[in-house]
Amino acid sequence: MTSWQQSLKNSITTPQQLAQHFPVDIDALSRVVERYPMRITPHYLGLIREAGDPIWRQCVPDAAELADDNLLVDPLNEENLSPVDSLVHRYPDRALFLVAGTCASYCRFCTRKRKVGCSTMSLSPDALSQGIDYIARTPQINDVLLSGGDPLMLSDEVLGDLLGRLRQVPHVQVIRIGSRMPVTLPERITPELCAMLRRYHPLYLNTHFNHPREITAEAQQACARLADAGIQLGNQTVLLKGVNDDPAIMSELLRGLLGMRVRPYYLHQMDLTCGTGHFRTRVEQGIEILRALRGQVSGMAIPQYVIDLPGGKGKVPILPDYVERLGDAIAIRTPDGDSVIFPNGGGENLRRG
């Protein structure tokens, strides 16, 4: 069996390599790759059935990325919320710690595509130490999210050392890891990695499945290993045009996740990131998908639909508007589109109704 390091080396990073598998326009692709790097792991490449399909759209560069789409380079104002280079501190009790600058596969819709995989995000051991020092001297922080890039790009040794240093900070209670590896490089989830991680509980891992075809036997095994190590698994999906902007696809994805012990956490409306406009859907569409899910799939499988507001204003949940009219009795729309009158407040309304 090939090691995960070897699989990474075997990944596709140039248009010429991709052209050996699919007919592509090498010149057009090269122009995009100069600005936003490409990497596709052998596992993820194997999930593509044809050009333009939902897996292809997520990993193969598109000329539309270079369109002048009036969107923002840093939509979440992360650069201004960074007290030290490697860390974003937006909510008092939580810190987003950017511990790796690269990923196994580069998602074309990535919010941090301005720097992920680019030299501007190469992280020195010094930058990591600055992040840990900041967390250690900021007692309000009790929840640290390791992100990047993908934290599982670090070797077991480096990651273990980092987790050990974080666990020495008494006010750090919860550590969360955000990783797309179960989807793109499932062989990264080795028994050795899981044995190391389980020493640092309470540990949560949020992964990133966007389409039911990403739920492969290999991904299932990776999630089972993590879950068996006692790691609570969540999932953050991005709502993407031409990938999962459809209630049937979305419910198949969410059911599949629950079936492998991964609890859907967030459904993200696309951020206003420069170079990702071709993935954006209307917010009404997200609301309609959510409405369709309610009553059709297990409540355990339904994520919160959130918009991360521009300028670093934070994540806000978006819900279908079920309440139509308030008063002594309120009118509530059912998921099927009917209206039901529900008595409001205490007992006297009930008796009158």
Ligand X SMILES: *Cc1c(COP(=O)(O)O)cnc(C)c1O
Give contact residues for ligand X (rule: CB under 6 A).
88, 90-91, 94, 96, 145, 315
Among 18, 98, 116, 141, binds ligand SF4 (CB under 6 A): 116
Which of 114, 271, 274, 305 is flagged as catalytic? 271
Which of 94, 167, 261, 333 is flagged as catalytic? 94
Give the sheet arrangement for strand 323-325, strand by strand: 323-325, 329-333, 339-343
Which of 69, 85, 91, 204 is flagged as catalytic? 91
223 included as an active-site residue? no
Applying CB under 6 A, does 205 fall inside the site for ligand SF4? Answer: no
103 included as an active-site residue? yes
Phi/psi for 51 (5° steps) reads -55, 135
Residue among 213 and 263 whose Cβ is closer to ligand X: 263
Among 55, 76, 98, 107, binds ligand SF4 (CB under 6 A): 107
110 included as an active-site residue? yes
Q: CB-based contacts of 259: which residues, under 8 Å, 6+ apart?
A: none
Minimum CB separation from ligand SF4 for residue 103, in Å? 3
Instruction: Output the CA–CA distances (angstroms, integers) from residue 193 to 127, 176, 197, 199, 226, in the order listed.
Output: 24, 15, 6, 11, 9
Among 61, 101, 149, 182, binds ligand SF4 (CB under 6 A): 149
275 binds, among ligand SF4, ligand X, none (CB under 5 to 8 A by kind): none
Enumerate the active-site residues: 90-91, 94, 103, 107, 110, 112, 271, 308, 315
Residues that bind ligand SF4 (CB under 6 A): 103, 106-107, 110, 112, 116, 148-150, 180
